[in-house]
Chain A
Amino acid sequence: MSIPVETSARKITIEPVTRVEGHGKVTILLDDDGKVQQARLHIVEFRGFERFIQGRPFWEVPVIVQRLCGICPVSHHLAAAKAMDIIVGVDELSPTADKMRRLMHYGQMFQSHALHFFHLCSPDLLFGFGSDPKQRNVLGVAAAHPDLAVQGVNMRRFGQEIILATAGKKIHGTGAIPGGVNKNLTIEERDKFLAEIPQMKEWALSAVAIAKNYTVENLSTVADFGTFPSNYMSLVRDDGAMDLYHGKLRAIDHNGDKLIDGAPYSGYLDHIAEEVRNWSYMKFPFMKNMGTEDGWYRVGPLARMNVVDFIDTPLAEVARQEFVALGAGAPVHVTMGYHWARMIELLHSLEEMERLLNDPDLQGDELVRTGERRSEAVGVIEAPRGTLIHHYEVDDNDMVTMANLIVSTTHNNEGMNRSVAKVANDYLSGVEITEGLLNHIEVAIRAYDPCLSCATHAMGRMPLEVELVGADGKQLDRKVKD
C-alpha cells in the first residue's frame, strides 16, 4: 500500500529581477535535497511593436520604434533610420549626416554605459554580492562613495546633452530621418562639449581602472562566476576595427576561430534563426549552420572585445589589449568581464566624440540625400547591449508591411540563462537560501546589462519577491524585500 509522501522539493521565484532595465523573473527548481534542478530567466513582458507599426508610414518608424526603450532609444532610432536610408535609396549618407548620427550614437553609448556601471551594478561591486541590501543600492553608493556617484551622474548628463544636441531631445528625439539628419551641430554647441572633454576623459579612464582592478583583484571569484565558453558576434569595420555604428557581421567560436566574417548584415537571415520556447516571451537566436544546441552566442561589450581586431582610438586600444590578455590568446569568457569591457567602450566612445567634435563636417549643410525607392531593408547597429537588428518591408504606398526586430538582449538570452543556471548550481545547491545568495543570480544577469523589455519600467517600488512553492504548487513561504 502506498501512502502519499510529503516532498520538500520547491521552486524559488525572483520576481522582478532588480537593477536591470525592464521586467523579468527567475525560477529555480530545487529537488528534495535542495540541489538545483533547473534555473531559468523568464521575460514576462510582451510589447508588440513589430505588429503595430505595420500600416504606418515608413518615415515614422525611427521615431515610433525608439519608444521600445527609455535607456537607449537612440539605438532603435538609428537602426530604424539606417534601414529607412536604404528604403529611400540612399546607400551613403552625406559626411555631415553620417557624423551627426555617429556623435548621437557615441553620446548614447557613453550615457548608457555610465548609467549601468555607476547606478545599477556598482553596488554589487563596491559592497559585495551578498552585502546588506540596505546599502547595496545607488543611494548606498552615493553615501559611501559620493565622488563616484557624482561622476556617474555627470557622465550620464554629458552623454544625454550630446543626444539633445544631435537628436533634438535627450530622450526620444527626431534627429535621424530617412536619408540623413534634420540638423547639424553649431559652433557654440561644439565648443561647449569640447570644453568638457578633458574632465570626461579623466573620469572615463578612472572608470576603466575601477572595473579592471575589480576584475583582476577578485579574479579567483569572478573568473568562474556565471562563466562558460561561448560563441560571440558583433559588427566590425572592414579592417577589423571596432565600429559601433556600422560594419559587417563577424562571429567567432569559443576558441576565437571565425564562424562568420565580412558578412553584409542585410543577409542576417542566412546566418541567424530564432527558436521559441514556451516559458519566455524572448526568443533564442542561434547560428543556423550550428543549430540550436551549439549555435547560440553572446553579444555586447564582452563579445565586441573578443571579436574585433583592434580599437581605433589610442586609450581604448591600450585598455583592450590589457583586457584580452586575460584570455591568453583565446577569447575572454569571463561573464563578469562584461563590466570591464563596458568601461573600455565608454572610454572609446568618449575618444570618438572628441574626434568627431573636432571635425568640421559636423557644421556642414548637406543633411539629407535621396535616391530610388526600395521595398525592403535591414538596419543593424551595435547598441550598448549588443547587436541590434531591424528589418522592414514597405509597400508602394509607403506603408510598413513587415517588421522584424532582434534586440541585443535577445541574442544574449541563452547566455543569460546559462549564467543563471551556473550561479544557481555553484552557489545555491544544498545550502540555506538567503537574500544575499539570491542576489548572486541577479549579479550574473546584471553583467549583461539586459534590457528585458527594451524597456518598460515599473513606476515606484521594485520589490524582490521570493516564493517557496511545494512540488504540489502550494506556496510554503514568501518573503518580500521592499
Chain B
Amino acid sequence: MTDSFTINVDGRDIQATKGQTILEAAEAAGIYIPRLCHHPELKPHGSCRICTVIANGRSCTSCTQPAEPDMEVQNNHPQVEMWRKQLIEMLFVEGNHFCPFCEKSGGCELQALGYRHGLTATQHPHLFPRREIDATHPDIMVDHNRCVLCGRCVRASRDVDGKRVFQFVERGPEKRVAVNSDAKLSRTDVDLTDKAVGVCPVGAILPKRQGYVAPVGAREFDHTPIGTSVEGGNGSLEV
C-alpha cells in the first residue's frame, strides 16, 4: 500500500493515508487534537489555531497540514499546550462570554476547551466589546457577543446549504460575521434546518426558544471532557 504510511504522534507510531491531515490521521488512531474552527463535514479553515501542533520541528495547524511519511508530531507538549491555552483565553476575553447564564453552557465547545485545558481564570483584561443581537428571524437568533469567528457558519452556508447567508466583513479587530452583507437575518432565506445553524460551536447562532431544554447533567460535556468521543473511554471531567 503506497498510500499508507506511518507518522509518529507523541512517541506513538500511527498509520496515516495520503491526503489525510495530521488531525484526521490522529483522530482515526484515537488521538484527540483540540480544535474549534474545524468541523469534519466542512472544508478545513485553519483560522482558530487551536489545533496547532509541532510537526517535524515547525508549528502548523493540524487541520490543514497533510500528514507525510515519517512525520514527527508533538501534540501533547508543554509548548503546544501553552499556545492553546493562550488562544482559548484570548477568545474568552475578546468576546462577551457569560457562561453562567448562556444557554449553550455545558454544550459549548469553547467552554469545554477551557475546562479541558484547565483555564480557571483569564490573565488578559476582558475587552467587553459592544456587539449586537440579531433576533429578527422568527426561529433563529444570532448573538454576536459570543461569536469566535470560527467561520463554520460561513463555510456551511456557502458549501453545504448553497445560500451564502453568512460572510466575514471588515478586517483585524473589526472583523465579524455579517448576514448578507449587513442585512438582518429575517431578510435571508436561512432556515432552522440549515447546516449553518447547527454547526456553531458556541452560543452565537441559536434556534429560538430551545434554551435550557437539556437539564444540567444531560448536556454534552457535563460528565466527560471534549475529545472523549475521539479518545474513547469515559474520561472524567474534574472541575
Which A residues fall within an 8 A CB radius of B?
55-57, 59-60, 63-64, 67, 88, 167-169, 172-175, 177-178, 182-183, 368, 397-399
Contact = CB atoms under 8 A, between A and B. Distances in A.
Contacts of B216: 167-169, 173-174
Give the interface SS of chain A, mostly helix, strand, loop or mixed.
loop
Contact of A397 (B135, B210, B212): B135
Contact of B103 (A59, A178, A368, A397): A59
Nearest to A53: B101
A88 B210 CA distance: 12
B209 A59 contact: yes
A183 B213 CA distance: 9
Contact of B135 (A63, A67, A368, A399): A399
A174 B212 contact: yes
A182 B101 contact: no
A175 B212 CA distance: 8
Nearest to A64: B101
B217 A57 contact: no
B214 interface: yes
19 contacts: A55-B133, A56-B133, A57-B211, A60-B101, A60-B103, A60-B211, A63-B101, A63-B103, A67-B101, A88-B209, A173-B216, A174-B215, A177-B212, A182-B212, A182-B215, A183-B215, A368-B213, A397-B136, A399-B133
The 5 A-B pairs of least Cβ separation, nearest first, read A168-B216, A183-B215, A397-B135, A174-B212, A182-B215
Nearest to B222: A168
Contacts of A399: 133, 135
B232 interface: no
A59 B211 contact: yes
Nearest to A395: B135
- Residue from A63, A167, A174 whose CB has the most chain B CB atoms within 10 Å: A174
A368 B214 CA distance: 12
Interface of B: 100-101, 103, 133, 135-136, 141, 208-218
Nearest to A367: B213
A237 to B, nearest CB: 29
A454 B97 CA distance: 24
Nearest to A174: B212
Nearest to B186: A397
A57 B101 contact: no
A397 B139 CA distance: 9
A177 B213 contact: yes
Contacts of B136: 397
B208 A168 contact: no
Contacts of A88: 209
B84 to A, nearest CB: 28
A106 B141 CA distance: 35
A345 to B, nearest CB: 28
Contact of B209 (A63, A167, A398): A398
A174 B99 CA distance: 13
Contacts of B217: 168
Contacts of A175: 215
Contacts of A59: 103, 209-212
B100 A57 contact: no
A358 B151 CA distance: 51
A364 to B, nearest CB: 15
Contacts of A167: 216
Contacts of A398: 135, 141, 208-209
A119 B212 CA distance: 33
B136 to A, nearest CB: 6
B100 A172 contact: yes
Contacts of B135: 57, 397-399
B125 to A, nearest CB: 20
Contacts of A172: 100
Contacts of B101: 60, 63-64, 67
A168 B213 CA distance: 12
Nearest to A181: B215
A182 B213 contact: yes
B87 to A, nearest CB: 28
Given A56-B133, A67-B100, A182-B212, 11 more contacts: A55-B133, A57-B133, A59-B103, A59-B211, A63-B212, A168-B215, A168-B216, A182-B215, A183-B215, A397-B135, A398-B208
Nearest to A370: B209
- Residue from B209, B213, B218 whose CB has the most chain A CB atoms within 10 Å: B209
Contacts of B214: 182
Contacts of A397: 135-136
Contacts of B100: 67, 172
A55 B210 CA distance: 17
A170 to B, nearest CB: 10
Contacts of A63: 101, 103, 211-212
A397 B133 CA distance: 11
Contacts of B209: 59, 88, 178, 398
Nearest to A177: B212
Contacts of B103: 59-60, 63
Nearest to A66: B101
Nearest to B135: A397
B165 to A, nearest CB: 18
A241 B197 CA distance: 49
A56 B211 CA distance: 12
A55 B217 CA distance: 29
